[in-house]
A and B are shown apart, each in its own frame.
Chain A
Amino acid sequence: MNDILEKKDEVIIPQLEQLEKKGRITKMMIICSKGTLENVYAALVLANGALMEGIQADMFFTFFGLQAITKAHADHLHTATVGNPAFMPGMPTILGGLPGFESFASFMMKKEMEKLDMPHVSEFVQMIDAAGGEIYACKLAADMFKLKKEDFLPEVKDIITVGDMYTLAEGEGTHFIFI
């Protein structure tokens, strides 16, 4: 019987080889330039999702995205209630600007995310790091916001230039996502 099963092995392996030939994604470089809750989560879910598929994934945080990987702000991100027409469609824009409204909306969103077993940003970053994903901060943006290595979460591997980021992305089959 084992002989017959061995045949199945032969079936599986050529299929994997075919996938390689089709240009299977082998590496993802996820760039996050936004610091709003939903954008940061989109970047984290995409990176983690790639790792779960056996695809290598690295992350590069820049501009306001840097806030997402600072010790001070990682778990206190907000969602935009102004300038975000898809947030509660039909709601007058002026309401979104009322004091406390953004905090309240962000609190409610985090509560819904918790129900879906979505971790907090700092835990998500830990998960990605444990899965082998590397997390980097952009040097130019870090200089602009006067952020140093010690301001970032411990999983942030380094502060690097855009050139270094491209070096990291080298190799066949790398895809980029910019958020």
Chain B
Amino acid sequence: MEPILFNGLTIATDEGGYLKDAKQWSPDLAVKIAASLRIDLTEKHFQLIHWLREKYTEGVPLTIRKVANSGIVDIKQFYQLFPGGPLKNAARIAGIPKPVSCI
């Protein structure tokens, strides 16, 4: 996909719209990516985004079940916060690679 031009930075994304370099992420960028997915970010979204980034840094493979055990949201809330594919959209907004989990 075409790179995102944001605050003077050129941010490369892969064909699925995931950032190629998670370090280029910023909360402001998250708001913009979320807007393109028609999601308005709230405090709850950000709590989860930071948690996802933390787990990604630790090298933990992400699953819906792990998110549900994060203590931040349950499965129902997760689907409500990130409609249309929660794990993928949350990963896009959090600036981390596409989750490869089947569960």
Q: Tell me the A residues contacting B by CB distance below 8 Å.
A: 1-2, 4-5, 8-9, 11-13, 45, 48-49, 51-54, 116-119, 126-127, 130-132
Contacts and interface: CB of A to CB of B under 8 A. Distances in A.
A150 to B, nearest CB: 24
B7 interface: yes
Given A117-B103, A118-B103, A5 B32 contact: yes
B36 A130 contact: no
A119 B65 contact: yes
Contacts of A119: 65, 103
Given A5-B4, A5-B6, A130-B74, A117 B63 contact: yes
Given A5-B4, A12-B36, A119-B65, A130 B79 contact: yes
Chain A binding surface, main DSSP class: helix
Interface string B57-86: 000000111101000001110010001111
A52 B87 contact: yes
Closest 6 CB pairs of A and B: A54-B84, A130-B75, A54-B85, A4-B5, A130-B76, A9-B36
Contacts of A117: 63, 65-66, 103
Nearest to B7: A1
Contacts of B1: 11-12
18 contacts: A1-B5, A1-B8, A5-B4, A9-B35, A12-B1, A12-B36, A12-B37, A45-B102, A52-B87, A53-B85, A54-B84, A116-B103, A117-B66, A117-B103, A127-B64, A127-B68, A130-B76, A131-B75
